[in-house]
Amino acid sequence: MLNKIIANILPYMPKKLIWVFSKRYIAGETIEDGLLASKLLNEKGIEVTIDILGEFIRSIDEAEQNKNEYLEVIERFTNENVVGNFSLKPTSFGLLIDKEVCYNYIREIVAFAAEKDSFVRIDMEDSQCVDLEIELFRKLRKEFPKNVGLVVQAYMRRTKSDLEGLNDLNSESAPLSFRLCKGIYVEPERIAFKGYEEVRANYLADLKYMFENKMYAGIATHDKYLVDEAIKLIREMNIPKSMYEFQMLYGVTPELRQSIVDEGHRMRVYVPYGKQWFGYSTRRLKENPKMAQHIIKALFIRG
């Protein structure tokens, strides 16, 4: 309870205070910071997905700026042979302002990634965005079947039917690629599972469906139970290593991450950077209030 109280108060505190918490989970503010963090992970045999922080913009001018920044990032990271791909949030490109402009900007990014033989994953956001983001993905997938993927959230009651609805796009030569995560946005119970075990059960059911239908699975979790159960499914269903990977957030559960790598599984780390780090940090904090105690220790024990 104390951790939750602290987690709810901290977002209203000075940014310098929040940075004490944030610097472990964010590569930095600049493209150079993102490159350095990514190369260090590559040296450990870990791939990356790069995310420029920022979402829910207020003007289309911001959307164009974000598009140009992503084009620059793809150019730099591919030219410097970073082993990884790219993630983006459609609200950073005006999804809730003008969905056609948003589509055109993201299409330009995906097309450029395709030229570089790379890949872009569309992040899933809160419930007001789900249908729009699936529609966006469907259009892009038809044109760039090997260069675009989507995130799905296990706590949403609709996820299984969304996977079923997209299965018509699947093919052996270009399997559908999904990152499966639990989900972090606060949603009403009528559309989202709330119980911890409920979310876990739905996660595994969604993952099994993906395996059964030969979809590529990005198993995104820091929950050791889900990691263990996923590995059991992989073994029981004889899933080839070419059809899945594990994914984790930068700076989170590094020991568990390394144990998965040591077992020979492919690992990808989500590397966020950018000047808009504050919203991302406070969301991570609300998702896991136990992190608050680490901030307090940093401030009052280590000074």
Q: Which of 123, 162, 200, 268 is catalytic?
A: 123
Nearest-CA neighbor of 272 among 15, 63, 49, 36? 49
Residue 106 CA to its chain's centroid (Å): 16
State yes or no: is 179 an active-site residue. yes
Distances (CA, A) of 140 to 35, 74, 84, 105, 296: 27, 18, 20, 12, 45
Other C-beta atoms closer than 10 Å to the C-beta of 26 total 26
Other C-beta atoms closer than 10 Å to the C-beta of 155 total 21
Q: Which of 121, 141, 162, 179 is catalytic?
A: 179
Q: Phi-psi category of 140—alpha, beta or left, where left has phi over 0 and alpha has psi -120 to 50?
A: alpha
State yes or no: is 228 an active-site residue. no
User: What is residue 195's three-state secondary structure?
Assistant: coil
- 262 burial type by CB count under 10 A (0-12 exposed, 13-18 middle, 19+ buried): exposed
Show which residues are catalytic: 123, 179
